[in-house]
Amino acid sequence: MPISDLGSTLIIANPASRSGTGAAGAEVVRRFFETCTSVTTSFKLRLTGATGDADTIAAGAAGRDTVVVVGGDGVIHEAVNGLMRIDAPLRPRLAVVPLGSGNDYARTLGLTPNDPERALDELLRGRERSFDLGFVTSDACPEGSYFTESLSFGLDAAVALDTTTRRAAGARQRGSGLFLTSGIKLAARASRGYPCTVRLDDEESLRLTSLIFAVLNGPTYGGGFRICPEADPCDGQLDVCYNVRHPRMPHLMFLLGLARFGHHTRSPLIRLRRLRTVRIEFAEAPPCQVDGEELLGSRFSVRVVPSALRVVVSASCRW
């Protein structure tokens, strides 16, 4: 049955998303809710002004029916961490109006990115699903962080963090193009890899020289790169993609290109697994990103949180 009524609604909008176009998107959303009074019992719009604001605002939404986040993966990540600080009976469901450069969580939800009017229509015609989240702690961040879509270490994390820096500096490229050019720039620097010890669920530990170690809740990150094409955010598990052998530079660049469409999974250098916990320790602190945000540390513990959050997905969403 379509959602149609979002109930008591808090809207969290990042006016700086997508190089400043988020302000116009927030205005579209505000006018929509003012005009279409039947879709909520009440609504309030809050704009973020600094890093961490969405977390704080969302944590104060106890008792609301819906929190609508207007922005990209970063502000969604913050808002989800705020929502998870609310006890489950009072925790609102999450809805997203995607306005960002990567929009990977929007892809998982089946929503049209960077078109607020269409995304709002998709939400009201959509349905509610219970989605898993990932949760990661590190020796430098023992309080931990939830993630909606991706956690990664090594080259792919360095690339994700570089794209964030380049977007903030006004890069014209967007999505997978930005991810690919950052990969080309950083591949030589990271080609020696990152020695680590990994334990997957309760199996014996593995010793790897990691170039790629990605833990995903949904299929994509980096603006649509299908790193774990079969990842299902409702199955109570996380999907992991990692290298088991060390490719030479030309092969590494080839794999990076294949990952755009998920074809890297056919390589004998790559393993994909589905599991509930990961423990990973690096010889030195590696580049690490969680939903595009930097996470410090050298020892990490990761687990799935099944059915953690009620989320509005489009009617066409595959889950």
Higher pLDDT pick, 124 / 182: 124
Question: Which option is the CATH number for 134-307: 3.40.50.720, 3.40.1280.10, 2.60.200.40, 1.10.540.10?
Answer: 2.60.200.40
39: which 2 tokens?
A: 């879709």
Instruction: Quickly count: other Cβ atoms within 10 Å of residue 219's Cβ.
Output: 23
**Element of type H or E holding 117:** helix 116-124
Q: For 15-45, how does the pLDDT look when each residue is reduced to its tens digit (9 = 90+)?
A: 988 766 889 999 999 999 999 999 999 999 9
pLDDT for the residue numbered 177: 65
Amino acid at 199: R
Integer Cα distance of 223 and 260 in angstroms: 9
Integer Cα distance of 161 and 222 in angstroms: 10
Amino acid at 191: S
DSSP annotation of 272:
E
Integer Cα distance of 177 and 193 in angstroms: 24
Mean pLDDT of the region 188-211: 88
Residue 247 neighbours by CB under 8 Å, 6+ apart: 211, 255, 269
Q: For 246-291, how does the pLDDT look when each residue is reduced to its tens digit (9 = 90+)?
A: 777 677 778 877 888 999 999 999 999 999 999 999 999 999 999 9
pLDDT for the residue numbered 165: 67
Contact present, 106 and 116 (Cβ < 8 Å) = no
Strands 8-13 and 66-71: parallel
196: which 2 tokens?
A: 């680590």
Q: Position of tokens 């089946």?
A: 110
Mean pLDDT of the region 98-126: 95
SS3 307: strand
Amino acid at 95: A
> What are the two backbone dihedrals, phi and then psi, of residue 66, each rounded to the nearest 5 degrees?
-140, 140
Domain with CATH 2.60.200.40 in the chain: 134-307
Q: For 232-258, how does the pLDDT look when each residue is reduced to its tens digit (9 = 90+)?
A: 999 999 999 999 987 776 777 788 778
Total residues belonging to the chain: 319
Round the average pLDDT of the chain to a whole number and report it: 91
Q: How far is CA 239 from the centre of its chain?
A: 13
Instruction: Quickly count: other Cβ atoms within 10 Å of residue 204's Cβ.
Output: 6
Beta bridge partners of 270: 243
Domain with CATH 3.40.50.10330 in the chain: 8-125
Amino acid at 261: F
> What are the two backbone dihedrals, phi and then psi, of residue 47, each rounded to the nearest 5 degrees?
-95, 140
Of the candidates 286, 276, 171, 277, the one whose C-alpha atom is nearest the C-alpha of residue 223 is 171
pLDDT for the residue numbered 80: 98
Q: For 140-190, how does the pLDDT look when each residue is reduced to its tens digit (9 = 90+)?
A: 999 999 999 999 998 878 877 776 666 666 666 555 566 666 666 666 556
Name the CA dihedral angle for 188, 193, 194, 199, rounded to a multiple of 10 degrees. Answer: 140
Amino acid at 239: D
SS3 113: coil
DSSP annotation of 217:
S
CATH topology of domain 8-125: Rossmann fold (3.40.50)
Integer Cα distance of 247 and 172 in angstroms: 31
